[in-house]
Amino acid sequence: PLPLEEKLGPDVLVSVPADDKWFDLEVDDDVDPMSIVVSAEYNDRGWKYLGPKFEGKKTYQVKLVRLGYVRDLAEARTKADNMGCRLVEGQARESFKAKFPRPDGKGPVAFGGSEWQNPHGSPHVAYLGVLEGEWPSDFRWSGRGFHDGWRWLVVGK
């Protein structure tokens, strides 16, 4: 039998690429950063975008990588930098989710190139979780450890 992707056609279902495989992802950095908060079903009152500022609509060559256990977002950024990459901004979360509507069951995907401060004052990073065949959009405290099952979306420097 044909794989599901071939039965439905490539426009209906696109599989999440394997780790360390480059692919194109269009990202609109002109979107309001608070729309990323709202897309995770949070009220944006009290949230603040910490940056950095990105502008424009671009198509990035990106890949998913595993960084192993990291203590916090700062360590994840250092590990990505040592690989010759930078973490892709959180504004890419919804583009990734639209391009790959079904998770592959291989772990959450973090978008650590930008941060938001929640109403309690803690910095957070955007990510996609995995729950019953869905990608719930969410945020995670940047100062918390990320186990080795996390994948990070990166772009070359």
For residue 74, what are its two tokens?
């700062």
What is the reported pLDDT for 86?
Answer: 97
The answer to whether 89 and 54 have CB atoms below 8 angstroms apart is yes
Q: How many Å is the Cα radius of gyration of the chain?
A: 15
User: What gap in Å lies between CA 1 and CA 116, rounded to an integer?
Assistant: 46
pLDDT in tens, the chain (157 residues): 444 444 445 555 679 999 999 999 999 989 999 999 999 999 999 999 999 988 899 999 999 999 999 999 999 999 999 999 999 999 999 999 999 999 999 999 999 999 999 999 999 999 999 988 899 999 999 999 999 999 999 999 8
**Coil, strand or helix at 96:** helix
Looking up tokens 């729309």, which residue turns up? 35
